């Protein structure tokens, strides 16, 4: 894992599926250890995973699908080890859900508005529910466990450089830990048009782009787990198309339960 390969700080994606418009905005920033520790939920049960480096990272993923909006904040170390995920949902469903990742499961806190608090900002919501779960299946002690939101960073920082390269990640979800295989399958050309912002200068890149096509597959460590791994609503046939030079994901493709095949395309990158 080479964090210096991650030169981008912002990624903006869109997809245009009939009656199902979606956009995803991603921001990556470094977080000092003190700020990271201050943000951590203190679990009433279990041992929380803690940041091991200073600074660490936080990735913010804002998504809007039809009328539903979501903001995910994930704290993680440069090697991808994740320690807390907070999701703020607004629109039809309103809640704040935090998963404090433990060494063997998670401690969670959900905050929702009471019946007369629907129009109030999230910091005024009063319904609080805590949860706790131990996973029955875990990878070997000392294994780095990341989270789906970190995959944009992990791919950029990885040694996936040419067809045949492969990497295994262990990924935390509320259902358990998944073993995720990233396999660089081939070079593939896709048609793209997006903006590049660097040093205050904005230019457009349009036309055919050569990418490294990375196939992603995931299996739960718990053989009894039936829920499928998910990335941005995609569950099947997930392909990541990375620019080999900038190591930016230009396109994420796959199938969702709701609309079938989706291509989520980059519209802007900030370096």
Encode the chain (271 residues) as per-residue pLDDT tens digits.
899 999 999 999 998 776 667 899 999 999 999 999 899 999 998 899 988 899 999 999 999 876 678 899 999 999 999 999 999 988 778 899 999 999 999 999 999 999 888 888 888 899 999 999 999 999 998 899 999 999 999 999 999 999 999 999 999 999 999 999 999 999 999 999 999 999 889 999 999 999 999 999 999 999 999 999 999 888 889 999 999 999 999 999 998 887 788 899 999 999 9
Look up the pTM and report it. 0.92
Cis ω on the peptide bond leading into residue 46 (within 30° of 0)? no
Domain range for residue 136? 3-270
- Residue 56 CB neighbour total at 10 angstroms: 23
Tens digits of residue pLDDT in 68-104: 788 999 999 999 999 999 999 887 788 999 999 999 9
Work out the burial of residue 61: count CB atoms within 10 Å of its CB; fewer than 13 is exposed, 13-18 middle, 19 or more buried. buried
pLDDT of residue 239: 96
φ, ψ dihedrals at 159, nearest 5°: -100, 30
Question: Into how many domains does the chain fold?
Answer: 1
pLDDT of residue 67: 64
Cα–Cα distance, 177 to 45 (Å, whole number): 19
Q: Which residues pair with 98 in a beta bridge?
A: 86, 109
Q: If DSSP codes are grouped into helix, strand and coil, which group holds residue 150?
A: helix
């Amino acid at each position: 894992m080479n964090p210096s390969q991650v030169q981008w700080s912002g990624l903006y994606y869109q997809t245009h599926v009939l009656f199902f418009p979606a956009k995803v905005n991603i921001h990556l920033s470094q977080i000092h250890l003190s700020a990271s520790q201050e943000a951590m939920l203190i679990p009433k049960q279990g041992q929380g995973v803690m940041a091991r480096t200073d600074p660490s990272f936080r990735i913010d993923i804002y998504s809007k699908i039809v009328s539903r909006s979501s903001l995910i904040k994930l704290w993680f170390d440069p090697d991808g080890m994740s320690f807390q995920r907070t999701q703020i949902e607004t629109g039809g469903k309103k809640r704040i859900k935090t998963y404090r990742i433990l060494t063997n499961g998670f401690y969670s806190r959900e905050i929702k508005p009471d019946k007369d608090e629907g129009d109030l900002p999230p910091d005024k919501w009063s319904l609080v529910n805590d949860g706790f779960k131990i996973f029955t299946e875990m990878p070997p002690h000392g294994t780095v466990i990341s989270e789906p939101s970190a995959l944009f960073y992990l791919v950029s920082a990885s040694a996936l450089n040419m067809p045949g390269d492969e990497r295994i990640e262990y990924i935390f979800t509320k259902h358990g830990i998944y073993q995720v295989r990233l396999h660089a399958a081939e070079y593939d050309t896709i048609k793209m048009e997006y903006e590049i912002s660097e040093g205050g200068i904005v230019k457009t890149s349009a036309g055919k782009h050569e990418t490294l096509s990375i196939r992603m597959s995931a299996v739960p460590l718990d053989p009894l787990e039936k829920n499928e791994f998910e990335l941005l609503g995609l569950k099947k046939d997930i392909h990541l198309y990375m620019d080999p030079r900038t190591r930016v994901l230009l396109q994420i493709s796959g199938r969702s339960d709701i609309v079938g095949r989706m291509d989520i395309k980059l519209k802007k990158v900030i370096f």
